[in-house]
Amino acid sequence: MNKHNEFWINEVLDSTKGMRKAEAPVYLSAQIQNKINQQNRKVFHLNTTQIKWLVAASLILVSFNGIAIYKYQQSKQAASITSHVNEYSFDSNELVKL
Distance between CA atoms of 32 and 40, rounded to whole angstroms? 13
pLDDT, one tens digit per residue, over 24-70 is 777 888 888 888 877 666 667 788 999 999 999 999 999 999 999 99
Residue 52, domain member (yes or no) = yes
Residue 83, domain member (yes or no) = yes
* Beta-strand runs (E) in the chain: none
Residue 22, domain member (yes or no) = no
Residue 93, domain member (yes or no) = yes
Residue 14 has pLDDT above 60, yes or no: yes
Domain that holds residue 68: 44-98
Distance between CA atoms of 23 and 32, rounded to whole angstroms? 13
Residue 2, domain member (yes or no) = no
Residue 29, domain member (yes or no) = no
Q: How much is the pTM?
A: 0.39
- Structural domain total, the chain: 1
Residue 80, domain member (yes or no) = yes
